[in-house]
Amino acid sequence: MTQAKARVGKVIGLDHVQMAMPHGGEADARLFYGEVLGLSEVPKPPHLALNGGCWFEGGAAHIHLGVEESFFPSRKAHAALLVDNLDALVSRLEARGIDFSEGKPLDGYVRGDIHDPFGNRIELMQRV
């Protein structure tokens, strides 16, 4: 009988990004993440839905927005979303009054930042 090799635990991917929002911000989150960014809302499990917030996904991107009682927006910490056409998305954002700030050069990407309705920083990145 041979002894099975011990499996070493290692990180294999990213499941989701958790971002904070203030109490009662679900309608603003749905408008921004759903209608503006084009992500699909997915139902939270019932026992987690009691806490408020909402979850979204698009492609491999999964964003969970959770209510934080003492909410402060994340200005440095952020989610970075890969997009397929940054120019088209920026045009759509600007038509909605959402400011886009071009990012510093990074090999292989064009990128920049926006903020969600709660002031959280979101980086948008397109591979080139």
Q: What is the pLDDT of residue 4?
A: 64
Q: Which domain holds residue 97?
A: 17-127
Write out pLDDT tens, residues 25-84: 999 999 999 999 999 999 999 999 999 999 999 999 999 999 999 999 999 999 999 999
* Residue 15 in this model has a pLDDT that exceeds 90: yes
* Domain-located, residue 74: yes
Residue-by-residue DSSP string for 53-98: -EEEEETTEEEEEEE-TT----SSS-EEEE-S-HHHHHHHHHHTT-
- What is the count of structural domains for the chain? 1
User: What sign does the dihedral 45-64-30-92 (CA atoms) show?
Assistant: negative
Contact yes or no for 92/36 (Cβ under 8 A)? yes
Q: What is the CATH number of the domain that holds 100?
A: 3.10.180.10
- pTM, entire model: 0.90
Instruction: State the amino acid at position 1 in one-letter form.
Output: M
Residue 8 lies in a domain: no
